[in-house]
């Protein structure tokens, strides 16, 4: 076990793409999947994963194009969702709880609407319904990056011109869903977060006024709220 409580770190072949992951908690416990935001990685969850570990086998995944996972050159939120489902198949996880932050929340939404039987409960952190917007020119940061810049361009292109089917299909989500908004300090319009809650059947909306990185800024408040909602056995 490492200092952050990680009990396992490795690589899983998932549908032809190798996905790096970190795991906390006991093998055989109910599974919880953590999906990070754009440009982040599994390490983004180190501050909160140990709070979930007494109740779950926690898996934090580097999505394709991030961290130690493969950088295959083909990127979309749909491909990331397919990777997550392939990860579940490879790990023999029939049904999971899932937490997604920002882009990871969008991926979690796609998984939950595509295969509703695979997701028991869903926590979405500071993500709202995305509306089309003018594309902004992006400048690549200098130096080596812990993610593929081509991935950033591809995902930002989708976010600038989102597929309406992402939101139209949310009525198929059957998972109990908690949406946590970051409040006025977040750059995500909170009315769009509320709109997402309206589109997912039975979704509950709560706000922790901590900005976009709720789980990093207020880890105890985030984990307490998530665990109270998830009610793991």
Q: What is the pTM of this model?
A: 0.96
pLDDT at 69 over 80: yes
Average pLDDT, the chain: 95
Q: Sheet of 96-101: strands edge to edge? A: 8-14, 17-24, 57-61, 31-35, 96-101, 119-125, 176-181, 204-207
pLDDT at 144 over 90: yes
For 141, which DSSP code? P
Which two tokens mark 194? 């509320």
pLDDT band at 66 (very low <50, low <70, confident <90, very high): very high
Residue 1: the pLDDT is 56
Residue 137: the pLDDT is 85
Higher-pLDDT residue of 112, 7: 112
What mean pLDDT comes out for the span 5-10?
82
pLDDT at 103 over 80: yes
Residue 2: the pLDDT is 62
Residue 134: the pLDDT is 86
* CA distances to 128, 135, 169, 195, 213 from 189, in Å: 7, 17, 21, 10, 14
- CB 171, CB 116: distance < 8 Å: no
pLDDT band at 5 (very low <50, low <70, confident <90, very high): low
**Neighbour tally for 128: CB within 10 Å:** 21
Handedness of CA 110, 78, 106, 98 (dihedral sign): positive
pLDDT by residue (tens digit) across 160-205?
A: 999 999 999 999 999 999 999 999 999 999 999 999 999 999 999 9
């Amino acid at each position: 076990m490492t200092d952050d409580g990680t009990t396992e770190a490795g690589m899983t072949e998932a549908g032809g793409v190798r996905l790096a992951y970190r795991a906390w908690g006991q093998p055989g416990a109910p599974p919880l999947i953590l999906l990070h935001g754009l440009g982040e990685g599994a390490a983004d969850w180190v501050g909160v994963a140990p709070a979930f570990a007494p109740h779950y086998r926690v898996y934090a995944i580097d999505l394709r194009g991030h961290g130690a996972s493969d950088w295959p050159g083909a990127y979309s939120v749909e491909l990331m969702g397919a990777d997550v489902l392939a990860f579940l198949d490879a790990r023999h996880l029939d049904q999971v709880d899932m937490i997604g932050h920002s882009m990871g929340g969008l991926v979690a939404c796609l998984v939950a609407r595509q295969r509703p039987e695979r997701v028991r409960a869903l926590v979405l952190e500071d993500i709202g319904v995305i509306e089309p917007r003018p594309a902004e020119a992006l400048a690549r940061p200098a130096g080596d990056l812990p993610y593929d810049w081509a991935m950033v361009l591809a995902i930002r292109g989708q976010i600038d011109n989102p597929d309406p089917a992402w939101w139209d299909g949310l009525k198929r989500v059957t998972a109990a869903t908690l949406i946590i908004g970051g409040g006025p300090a977040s750059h995500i319009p909170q009315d769009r977060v509320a709109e997402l809650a309206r589109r997912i059947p039975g979704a509950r909306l709560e706000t922790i006024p901590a900005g976009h990185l709720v789980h990093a800024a207020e880890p105890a408040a985030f984990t307490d709220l998530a665990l109270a909602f998830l009610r793991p056995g």
